[in-house]
Amino acid sequence: MTNHEIKIAFQEYASVKELETTHRDLCAEAVKAMENSHSPYSKFRVGAALLLKSGKIIHGSNQENVAYPSGLCAERVALFYWGANHPADPIISMAVTAHTDEFELQKPITSCGSCLQVLAEYEKKQKQPVKVILFASKGPVWVTNGIEAFLPFLFFEDRLS
Ligand code: THU
Q: What is the pLDDT of residues 104-126, one digit of tens each?
A: 999 999 999 999 999 999 999 99
Q: Which of these, 125, 117, 123, lies nearest to 93 by C-alpha position?
A: 123
- Residue 62 domain flag: yes
- Residue 24 domain flag: yes
Determine the residue of 34, 39, 65, 73 to mutate for testing ligand 1's pocket, defined as the one with the most ligand atoms within 8 A of the Cβ atom.
Answer: 73
Q: Which residues of 121-145 are buried (b: 16+ CB within 10 A; e: fewer)?
A: bbbeebeebbbbbbbbeeebbbbbe
- Residue 133 domain flag: yes
Ligand 1: residues whose CB is within 6 Å?
39, 42, 44, 46, 62, 64, 71, 73-75, 109, 111-112, 115
Give the CATH number for residue 37: 3.40.140.10
Q: How confident is the model at residue 37 (pLDDT cuts 50, 70, 90)?
A: very high
- Residue 8 domain flag: no
DSSP type of residue 121: H
- State whether residue 87 is helix, strand or coil: coil
pLDDT at 45: 98
Number of domains in the chain: 1
pLDDT at 89: 98
- Residue 13 domain flag: no
- Residue 104 domain flag: yes
- Residue 156 domain flag: no
Q: Which of these, 60, 6, 30, lies nearest to 141 by C-alpha position?
A: 30
pLDDT at residue 39 above 90?
Answer: yes
Domain range for 92: 20-148
User: In angstroms, rounded to a whole number, what is the distance separating the alpha carbons of residues 94 and 15?
Assistant: 17
Interval between CA 74 and ligand 1 midpoint (Å)? 7
Interval between CA 64 and ligand 1 midpoint (Å)? 9
User: In angstroms, rounded to a whole number, what is the distance separating the alpha carbons of residues 41 and 147?
Assistant: 29
pLDDT at 154: 82
- Residue 94 domain flag: yes
Q: How is the beta sheet containing 131-134 ordered, strand by strand?
A: 11-13, 141-145, 131-134, 91-99, 45-52, 57-61
Question: Are 78 and 48 within 8 A, CB to CB?
Answer: yes
